[in-house]
Chain A
Amino acid sequence: MIEVRGLRKRFGEVVAVDDVSFTARDGHVTGLLGPNGAGKTTALRVLYGLLDSDQGEVLVDGVNVGTAPQEARRRMGVLPDSRGLCVRLTAREHLRYFGRLQGLSAAAVEESIDRLVTQLEMGDIIDRRVQGFSQGERVKVALGRALVHEPSNVLLDEPTNGLDVGATRAMRRFIRDMRAKGTCVLFSSHIMQEVAALCDRLVILSKRRTVAEGTPEQILTASGQTNLEDAFVSLTGLDEVGA
């Protein structure tokens, strides 16, 4: 479970996140949705503990990211926006490295790698170097790296960016599997169809604030629209720009 309360973050004069609050529950897929520049990535970076917030707090399973970042990070698996892979390491070395960083024993890491190879179907790429991997293969490595310590909360920043249809469907299937196991999945996206297909709950950001939170049905009711795309446009105020 991830609870975000009154988050605010500014860089000098620029306010990147103004007032963001939401809750992502265990066993739910929560979609963080917003137009480009709404503050999604900054909010997520504060969540992983990469940035300190100026105001507000983030609790991961009740652990405050601001005061106990190491402990909070152990409870999170993160697929960041820029995947950040080392091209000269193999997929297995990436997983092993992150497993060790998360404090797993050598034996536990190898066990975890075997499990992920099956789950993510990466048997044919596990011992190859990342250089020359396709986008889909890179996302698999980054996702495996996020899940190597079996976190109870998984944060995915635009996980299907650059993936083809097959890989996107595999990713969705994987997200549903995680939900079925009771994992709290939070993912950011700006693709409505994907969000509609996957999410139990939505958090909509616009102009650096939370403007709506709830199930897709609640969002539709609140906006008075009949489909999610219209609801998104009207809630984020994109229609004012378009008109």
Chain B
Amino acid sequence: MRHLVALVGPVFRKELLDAVRDRRSLMSALLFPLISPLMINLLFGTIAARERSAEDLVFPVQGAELAPGLMAWIERANHEVVEADGDLFAQVRDGDLELAVLIDPDYADDFASGTPAKISLILDGSKNDLLPLVRRARTVLRSYGAQTGALRLIARGGVD
């Protein structure tokens, strides 16, 4: 056993010398730790840039005059509402619009009578780079729904 311990030094020195002189494995061993933080930085940077681009949304809306409450809600969240005409589905499909909101012709009546009022968010699910945008748009519309629901519940009273 003592004999084997004495061999550790020479073997270690020889292996180290051999490894240091092996340029190719040395390079790949050192290069990856250097490059990988850069790559990760680049990756996260791209994702963050996409998220940022979705901060201020423009909502092309058809039938905005039917839902003034919703429009006010969108503008209060620092987003912009613009009028959209024509066939929204075709425009989103062709890429002329990133997304669009279609207010149902019966929206105002349904809203007034307290029955579910239909809003359509039109989007192209195959476009990955629009996903953050869509997510934010959805959040804005849902929060309006939740807010309205909560207010109505309070107005009617009596959950407990």
**Is A bound to B?**
yes
Q: What's the nearest-Cβ distance from chain B to residue A84, in Å?
A: 13
Is B22 in the interface zone, CB < 8 Å from A? yes
Within 8 A of B (CB), among A64-116: 70, 86, 88-89, 93, 97, 100-101, 103
Task: With CB as the reference atom, state the residue of chain A lying closest to B10.
Answer: A100
The reply to whether A88 and B10 contact each other, CB–CB distance below 8 Å, is no
Total interface residues in chain B, CB < 8 Å: 11
Within 8 A of A (CB), among B1-48: 3, 6-7, 9-11, 14, 17-18, 21-22
The reply to whether A89 and B22 contact each other, CB–CB distance below 8 Å, is no
Within 8 A of A (CB), among B89-147: none
Q: Which of A70, A88, A100 contacts B18 (CB 8 A)?
A: A88
Q: What's the nearest-Cβ distance from chain B to residue A63, in Å?
A: 15
The reply to whether A103 and B14 contact each other, CB–CB distance below 8 Å, is no
Contacts of A100 in B (CB 8 A): 9-10
Contacts of B10 in A (CB 8 A): 97, 100-101
Task: With CB as the reference atom, state the residue of chain B lying closest to A71.
Answer: B3
Task: With CB as the reference atom, state the residue of chain B lying closest to A109.
Answer: B10
The reply to whether B14 and A70 contact each other, CB–CB distance below 8 Å, is no
A49 to B122, CA, bound (A): 78
A176 to B20, CA, bound (A): 40
Interface centre among B3, B9, B14 (most CB of A within 10 A): B14
The reply to whether B17 and A89 contact each other, CB–CB distance below 8 Å, is yes
Contacts of B9 in A (CB 8 A): 100
The reply to whether A89 and B6 contact each other, CB–CB distance below 8 Å, is no
Query: A93-B14, A97-B14, A100-B10 known; A88 and B22 CB under 8 Å?
Result: yes
Interface centre among B6, B7, B10, B11 (most CB of A within 10 A): B10
List residues of chain A with CB under 8 Å of any chain B CB. 70, 86, 88-89, 93, 97, 100-101, 103, 129
- 15 additional A-B pairs beyond A86-B18, A89-B14, A89-B21, beta carbons within 8 Å, are A86-B14, A88-B17, A88-B18, A88-B21, A88-B22, A89-B18, A93-B14, A93-B17, A100-B9, A100-B10, A101-B7, A101-B10, A101-B11, A103-B3, A103-B6
**Pairs of residues from A and B, 6 with the lowest C-beta to C-beta distance, nearest first:** A100-B10, A88-B21, A97-B14, A88-B18, A86-B18, A101-B10
14 A-B contacts (beta carbon < 8 Å)? A70-B3, A86-B14, A88-B17, A88-B18, A88-B22, A89-B14, A89-B17, A89-B21, A93-B14, A93-B17, A100-B10, A101-B10, A103-B3, A103-B6
